[in-house]
Chain A
Amino acid sequence: MATVELTNIKKIYAGGVEAVRDVSLTVPNGSFTVLLGPSGCGKSTLLRMIAGLETITSGVCKIGDRVVNEIEPADRDIAMVFQNYALYPHMTVYDNMAYGLRNRGTPKPEIDKRVREAAKLLAIEEYLTRKPRALSGGQRQRVAMGRAIVREPQVFLFDEPLSNLDAKLRVTMRLEIKRLHNRLNATSIFVTHDQVEAMTLADQVVVMNAGNIEQIGAPGEVYKHPATRFVASFIGSPAMNLMPGKVSDSGVVETPGGKLPFDAKRFSASGEVDVGVRPEDIHVSSGSNGFSFTPELVEELGATRLLHGNFGATPIIVAIPASGTTHENREMRLSIDPAAVHLFDRNSGRSLAR
């Protein structure tokens, strides 16, 4: 097990495209760190640089105590699980898992022991003699994980390993990866664009955008206290409502839809800002206080209900518990908890929280 330390990592491709710009990140020993971001944000490139599959343009990548910038992937003591599994199609499941050990000259009885242990752990014992093409997607993914486990590497790297699975299997495999990590306690870095995967798996979420790290924090942290407007809009489903606003004194922000109170103690804000409110932080108000809202469209999700409508000129989404009935096009009153209002700098997009 080892800590992974990235310092000022940059990746500039031959064509001048900056895939990763100045990223610094520490993945503590034994942690499960998820790199989360939209496609093209540089998260996969970053992972591939840690793996040694991409050269590092500048910066330092350390695994354990070693600087690995110039070290071959094979010698970095890492294992990687690929999105399309990347199993060797001409080898049996057993040989797929044994390949890495054979390359390293591990004695035969030891290989056999490790492969069988991993197969047992992943419940693929009965498939050991099969070729990958005779396996389902979920089984292939297990084999790919088995191939990583037998090597007992210092760091596990996962490159969107669940995105090729169907929705139901994805949930199962997600739990299994989590269970596996709890059991092996190996340092893991997991790349995904799926925030649910990130929130459920990670002890540390790294939100990336356009080659930069937007925020590093625990899943609850990035949800409750997004450091930037991007994180606020990317994390949470449905996405946070964002609208322009202007801070007048005494903890009130004026928006096109009306005045919103906010917790003045938490922010150092003045002038033009962007106001963010999560759909689930807007509540149905019992009395006549709050603001008027007319839902134009109601989406029933079972436990919750999504109301689409306008707040001033801004389209917003409100998530309320699904009790009673909500009529479309009938005016209702909503209120916002001042403590749940987020403010972001209009230009930099950074949170104005103190």
Chain B
Amino acid sequence: MQKRAIFGGTSLPYLLLLPQLFVVAVFFYWPASQAVWQSFLLQDAFGLNTSFIWFENYSELFADAGYYRTMMTTGVFAVLVAGLSLSLALLLAVQADKSIRGAGVYKTLLIWPYAVAPAVAGVLWIFMFQPSLGVVAQGIRAMGWSWNPLLNGNDALTLVVLASTWKQISYNFLFFLAGLQSIPRAVIEAAAIDGASPTRRFWTIILPLLSPTVFFLIVVNIVYVFFDTFGIIDAMTQGGPSKATETLVYKVFFDGRLGGNLGSSAAQSVILMIMVVGLTAVQFRFIERRVAY
């Protein structure tokens, strides 16, 4: 690749970059810097008086047991959703990769949930599991299990985890299927001749060769849980009951929008931003290297 554009001087290249930089600046850097600025401010309840308070918003957050609980909830939520959706998607992809009758239909159907908007997905699931109306909830109750996601925190978390997992399986499935299809058939056949049982083949050949996909999806799934599950949580539980399903991003919304505490909300979003930057850095630096076997 020795193709290089030659520019006389530096003004034209900068000029050409300008629209892109403008878009990034307006839609990313400006709001981000606003958040950082906000996180250093304290506003009175009527928005009339604003004072600069340095890191007080942050120190207050880190002194708050509620914030750690939300962090824990988010952590548990992330591990459960990422773990469940990754393993289920992998299982489905491995099955779909076999030459079966109707594989095309099967694959298409598995991809559909991804096209459902998070809020709609939330409503769908709440309809099924709503304690007094839900079809599934009635079934569960008929089995003698007291099921009430509106009152029981664990039930609510289970429900949100299930809905979020269901929503994410399609995405993971697609990537796993593509990953599986890029493994040369002959390698699998060689392993079969080499006396590896299907299970052993999976653990010693297929999974190691899929590891780039797995690592990529882990990062994507964590980001998904951190941010994109907002719609599902908002539609299903609004973070309740008694904050049992409140994740970090939902708390940002709750404290800032409903609680009116813009400073704390901004500080929380800055912390979230740092987490995601960290995750992305890990993906680029560490994982991309491990990927090359």
A interface vs B, CB < 8 Å? 51-53, 72-75, 78-80, 82-84, 86-90, 99-100, 103-104, 131, 147, 151
Contacts and interface: CB of A to CB of B under 8 A. Distances in A.
A103 B196 CA distance: 6
B193 A99 contact: no
Interface in B203-242: 204-205, 208-209, 211
Interface in B173-193: 184, 186-187, 189-193
A74 B195 contact: yes
A51 B193 contact: yes
Contacts of A80: 189-190, 193
B196 A99 contact: yes
Contacts of B197: 74
4 closest A-B pairs (Cβ-Cβ)? Answer: A100-B194, A86-B186, A90-B293, A103-B195
B50 to A, nearest CB: 57
B200 interface: yes
Contacts, number: 63
B184 A131 contact: no
Interface residues of B, number: 19
Contact of B194 (A52, A90, A99): A99
Nearest to B101: A14
Given A103-B200, A104-B195, A131 B189 contact: no
Contacts of B187: 86-89
Contacts of A75: 195
Of the candidates B189, B200, B209, the one having the most CB atoms from chain A within 10 angstroms of its own CB is B189
Nearest to A151: B194
B192 A73 contact: yes
A334 B141 CA distance: 99
Given A73-B189, A80-B190, 11 more contacts: A53-B193, A73-B192, A74-B197, A78-B193, A83-B186, A86-B186, A86-B189, A86-B190, A87-B190, A100-B195, A104-B195
Contacts of B186: 82-84, 86
Contacts of A88: 187, 190-191, 205
A143 to B, nearest CB: 11
